[in-house]
Amino acid sequence: MYAGAVLADLGGDAQRVTVPGGLAARIYLFNVRRWRQTPNLPVSEGHLGELEAGLVEMAADDGGTDVSWIVRQLVMTA
């Protein structure tokens, strides 16, 4: 998830990606739902349930918010 800084010396460009908050919530829901199926996580089921409920709510109505990431675009050839 934080590989961009490690790969910076290899070149490429860091680009900002901005999406509506509802879309970001739907993206994060994939992770949370997968985590809930994974045994022995160091996070309680209750916390994951609260996180999932909040993301479901935001996916339905993000209040017009945006979420941004900085991603490194890097192409490597052999």
pLDDT over 80 (residue 4):
no
**For the segment 18-74, what is each residue's pLDDT rounded down to a tens digit?**
999 999 999 999 999 999 998 888 988 999 999 999 999 999 999 999 999 988 888
Positive or negative, the CA dihedral 63, 1, 49, 43 is negative
What confidence score (pLDDT) does residue 29 get?
96
